[in-house]
Structure 1
Amino acid sequence: MSLPHRLLVGVALAAVSVTLGLLVAASLFLNSSRTVVLVGHDTVVRPTMARDAVIQTGPLLPDLRLRDVGPVGVTLSLGKTEVGSIEELVDRYAFIATDPTAQVDKVQGVVVDMAVSAAVRGLGVGLLPVAVFLLLGRHRRGELFRGLRTRQGLLALVLLLALPLLIWQPWETSEETQDDRGSWQTLAELAGATVVLPEEVRDIEIRTGPVTTQTKRLVLSAIDTYDKSKEFYSAAAEAAADLDLREPEEGETVALLVSDRHDNIGMDRVARAVGEAGGATVVLDAGDDTSTGQPWEAFSLDSLAGTFAEWDRFGIAGNHDNGTFVRTYLADEGWTMLDGEVVDAPWGGTLLGVDDPRSSGLGNWREETGLSFTEVGERLADAACDAVADGDRVSTVLVHDANLGREALSRGCVDLVLGGHTHVQAGPDPVEGEDGATGYTWTNGTTGGAAYAIAVGSKPRRDAEVSLVTYADGRPTGLQWVRLRTDGSWLVGEWEPITPAP
């Protein structure tokens, strides 16, 4: 075979391989789907070529559409969730929409992952003709091409070409559905001239059939919640940047302590703004990020993980973070979830923590189950004192309830115990331990502004709080609380020095 002929065959084979691979990859991508937890629902994500994002909310609420979201569109079919009423569900949608970054990033990540998966599979199919071509060899390929001139070979070729058509079946049609009968209308058109809408939502489209008065009221109520939430938390985050906070000195490290968020994603950007204003580079999460610890609350964890993505992140699960979902989810997002082992801390000292044993499914300690609150506190103290015996005094114990660290303080093995749980700030209180040692306990208020376990709303239900912990030479040296009032005003506590001994 001459060189030009070989080159021609190679180009033809490459063209067939690439074309086949692209067709298969595109087909697999456009017919693929993934189920993820999104906006509190088990959600089926399907890519489309329509360039629009369509949110199918189910039988009780109208679908939504956002136009021209990118080169590839997506359909989101919302499934099961946990909710007390339709009104509560709509308010949740509106609240999440005030800061949708984490949810948008999650959808984009899923679509990209589906595209990569389809491309890899398409590459595999595209390489199949090349493999067959090389496997047959020149002699067998010659026999195959000569066989195409026979009736039997011609019939085989026709059947081979018909195979994609038989798989595709373009003659199949679907029954007409209610979706086909609906039309799209912008929220501005639905609301009418008498209702003033935020500029960013006016062009969102809603699928309308026979839209009832009650449905329209729900939509307008959601818009009102969205507007108030976005305005409140945006103003709070902007004001946080100008708070008069103590600035860290050279050689100091500041950690931001959050606790009891209870799904309030609006406070995440506010908490970060406070941390940045105070020079924080580490975030310590004392638990109760959710209200029930169920997968529908993944939106809260997505927001937390995205907000502090570049920081050093440490956490434990609170009593409301039931089961292992919260712990596993945050660990997968890159958080260091403390489990009763002493770890090195970014400030040069050591850090120890454990999940709240009152969580359903939690409280395990090194393969032991059913331990009480007191027993877990004793095990925590044992771990801290073992570290002291090895020459590594524990600078901080992170727990959900500061009482869990009382035993470690009384034995004189830790400098500082940080917690939350009570939703009320307390401390710093010195605790005298054995051999003249002194440690401190500090309880942060509720970062989510939660009343009981509920924090979702257009603003905090009670004052929302974070704390700034200052470290130097591997040990804590001071604490400062920062509180956002329900009316949007700020209270800033004095920086209180602490001097743990020895």
Structure 2
Amino acid sequence: MGRRRRVAGGIVVVCLSALLGASVAVSLFLNSSRTVVLVGHDTVVRPTTSGDAVVQTGPLLPDFRFRDVGPVGVSLALGKTEVGSVEELVERYAYIAGDPTGQVDKVRAVVVDMAVSAALRGLGVGLVPVAFYLLLGRHRRGELFRGVRSRNGLVALALLLVLPVLVWQPWEADAETQEEQGSWQTLAELAGPDVTLPGEVRDIEVRTGPVTTQSKRLVLSAIDTYDKSKEFYSTAAEGAADLDLREPEDGETVALLVSDRHDNIGMDRVARAIGERAGATVVLDAGDDTSTGQPWEAFSLDSLEGAFSDWERFGVAGNHDHGTFVSTYLADLGWTMLDGEAVDAPWGGTLLGVDDPRSSGLGNWREESGLSFAEVGDRLADDACAAAEDGERVSTVLVHDANLGREALARGCVDLVLGGHTHVQAGPDVITGEDGSTGYTWTNGTTGGAAYAIAIGSKPRRDADVSLVTYADGRPIGLQWVRLRTDGSWLVGDWSPVEPG
């Protein structure tokens, strides 16, 4: 009889602990929040029970609601960002919406992480009663349960029951806000019968009110940008599957070279499609993924990662990727960011690279700061030649500006230097080293189709380029460029063999 009672008591404690832990986990999860950089903003992410995704854009623009996104909803409160005008901000939203995969994946990952964190904390709280049950022992548990039936025990039990209510304070109510005065309206209803909307945005809801009603023109302008952007890049990505590109033979590896994206996330799926058509499995990023290198441009890096997450990924930062944010962010996402030391390459050779020294905050060389462009080029050549002397000749130097690798080529220590920066494709140019060996230099155009450092728009501002590098036996053997023109047509360069030696 005593054993049954102990087993029953243990089961009750476990059940109560599970209930307590689950309650705490759910409560922590629904009251948790994370601040991340999303769509160019410092954004507070909060889970909800509504099953909807609500984007709170601030006091001057309407909030948006996406219905039935999943079993758990989310509230996204957009905070500070860098922007020149409200019109520019709205256009940016529309452009990002044309390819939102990176941002959606980021929100999903944040919500999952909050759920896991809440579950672990709930588990910890739920284990407390079990721990006390075991620590007290049978004798003290009996005394405790007998004490509950006393007057002091009843008072203590009442206090324990009142304590959660005092913490919760359900009688406290929020003040009535202006937000609650608005109503939700679909974009189709807001636009009216005279405006034709893309089918996928018709059911998105907008919170209307006295101020946001005046924003109708901005919303419709954004929808137009969204439609044009999505159509242009989707068509281009589909067309890339039919390009006449050289495909790798047995034993060959193809790397896709991108540079100077300057936040043009629309080109990421196009570049991926070109790479798939050419059989590429490696992406080499020559920098200038952003225009300023600021955290608000994380959306561009999220998109790049989303497009190539299952490939081997290597990169350097460009002169517009100011500071260390870009390199650190991509490294945290799993990219191998080259820092002046040779690394093993997927094609069997070695790869060397370094960030552009002209970028503010960059130019350090193993804790030494203030080096000039020429000095960094000399150090790069020193390392390349040292590797060659050790029997590990560098097959490729990846830099933002190919001129940074010219000294290494002049000394005859590398096979190929890849870069970007000029926004104009050039090469392959043969460089004869001082020892009579030959190497090549190749400059990719702007993958983002950027004019100066600006690429955001419903289509590229100038022709957008990527390059394909073919390797065999650990060394480069050929190069080919692919260009998407501003009118959506294609130009494909001939595959140019290279024979370093």
Residue in 1 aligned with 2:329? 329
Task: Work out whether 1:90 is the aligned partner of 2:119.
Answer: no
Instruction: Measure, in 2, the Cα distance between the counterparts of 1:458 and 1:385.
Output: 45
Task: Give the conservation status (yes or no) of the 8 Å contact 2:254–2:278.
Answer: yes
Instruction: Measure, in 1, the Cα distance between the counterparts of 2:102 and 2:86.
Output: 24
Question: TM (normalized to structure 2)?
Answer: 0.99
Task: Work out whether 1:231 is the aligned partner of 2:222.
Answer: no
Superposition pairs of residues 34-53 of structure 1, within 5 angstroms = 34-53=34-53
Instruction: Measure, in 2, the Cα distance between the counterparts of 1:344 and 1:158.
Output: 68
Q: SS at the partner of 1:321?
A: coil
Return the letter of the residue paired with 2:252: E
Instruction: Measure, in 2, the Cα distance between the counterparts of 1:275 and 1:444.
Output: 15
Task: Work out whether 1:489 is the aligned partner of 2:489.
Answer: yes
Change (3 A) 1:6 1:151: closer
Superposition pairs of residues 232-247 of structure 1, within 5 angstroms = 232-247=232-247
Residue in 1 aligned with 2:209? 209
Superposition pairs of residues 257-272 of structure 1, within 5 angstroms = 257-272=257-272
Instruction: Measure, in 1, the Cα distance between the counterparts of 2:259 and 2:450.
Output: 10
Q: SS at the partner of 2:435?
A: helix
Task: Tell me how far 1:212 sits from its aligned partner.
Answer: 5.5
Task: Tell me how far 1:7 sits from its aligned partner.
Answer: 2.3
Q: SS at the partner of 1:175?
A: coil
Task: Tell me how far 1:140 sits from its aligned partner.
Answer: 1.6
Q: SS at the partner of 1:436?
A: coil
Instruction: Measure, in 1, the Cα distance between the counterparts of 2:129 and 2:346.
Output: 55
Residue in 2 aligned with 1:160? 160
Instruction: Measure, in 1, the Cα distance between the counterparts of 2:251 and 2:144.
Output: 77
Instruction: Measure, in 1, the Cα distance between the counterparts of 2:217 and 2:87.
Output: 10
Return the letter of the residue paired with 1:366: R
Q: SS at the partner of 1:466?
A: strand
Task: Tell me how far 1:367 sits from its aligned partner.
Answer: 1.1
Task: Tell me how far 1:19 sits from its aligned partner.
Answer: 0.5
Return the letter of the residue paired with 1:476: P
Return the letter of the residue paired with 2:53: A
Instruction: Measure, in 1, the Cα distance between the counterparts of 2:153 and 2:4.
Output: 28
Percentage of identical aligned residues: 81
Instruction: Measure, in 2, the Cα distance between the counterparts of 1:98 and 1:241.
Output: 20
Instruction: Measure, in 1, the Cα distance between the counterparts of 2:310 and 2:423.
Output: 27
Return the letter of the residue paired with 2:3: L
Superposition pairs of residues 388-467 of structure 1, within 5 angstroms = 388-467=388-467
Residue in 2 aligned with 1:352? 352
Task: Tell me how far 1:471 sits from its aligned partner.
Answer: 0.7
Residue in 2 aligned with 1:381? 381
| More divergent stretch after superposition (278-287 vs 130-139) | 130-139
| More divergent stretch after superposition (85-94 vs 210-219) | 210-219
Q: SS at the partner of 1:77?
A: strand
Residue in 2 aligned with 1:184? 184
Superposition pairs of residues 59-74 of structure 1, within 5 angstroms = 59-74=59-74
After TM superposition, where is structure 1 displaced by more than 4 Å over at least 4 residues in a row? 211-214
Per-residue CA deviations over 1:55-93 (Å, capped at 9, x if unaligned) read 000111000000000000000000011111111110110
Task: Tell me how far 1:269 sits from its aligned partner.
Answer: 0.3
Q: SS at the partner of 1:454?
A: coil
Change (3 A) 1:86 1:103: same
Change (3 A) 1:7 1:141: closer
Instruction: Measure, in 1, the Cα distance between the counterparts of 2:337 and 2:159.
Output: 59
Task: Give the conservation status (yes or no) of the 8 Å contact 2:60–2:212.
Answer: no
Residue in 2 aligned with 1:33? 33
Task: Work out whether 1:289 is the aligned partner of 2:311.
Answer: no
Task: Tell me how far 1:213 sits from its aligned partner.
Answer: 6.1
| More divergent stretch after superposition (411-420 vs 9-18) | 9-18
Task: Give the conservation status (yes or no) of the 8 Å contact 2:351–2:398.
Answer: yes
Structure 2 unmatched runs, 5+: none
Instruction: Measure, in 2, the Cα distance between the counterparts of 1:211 and 1:67.
Output: 23
Instruction: Measure, in 2, the Cα distance between the counterparts of 1:496 and 1:267.
Output: 24
Task: Work out whether 1:107 is the aligned partner of 2:101.
Answer: no
Task: Tell me how far 1:211 sits from its aligned partner.
Answer: 4.9
Task: Tell me how far 1:168 sits from its aligned partner.
Answer: 0.7
Task: Tell me how far 1:3 sits from its aligned partner.
Answer: 3.1
Return the letter of the residue paired with 2:436: G
Return the letter of the residue paired with 2:258: V
Task: Tell me how far 1:6 sits from its aligned partner.
Answer: 2.3
Task: Tell me how far 1:321 sits from its aligned partner.
Answer: 0.4
Instruction: Measure, in 2, the Cα distance between the counterparts of 1:303 and 1:153.
Output: 60
Residue in 2 aligned with 1:341? 341
Per-residue CA deviations over 1:423-470 (Å, capped at 9, x if unaligned) read 000000001112111111000000000000000000000000000001
Task: Work out whether 1:195 is the aligned partner of 2:195.
Answer: yes
Per-residue CA deviations over 1:37-72 (Å, capped at 9, x if unaligned) read 000000000000010000000111000000000000
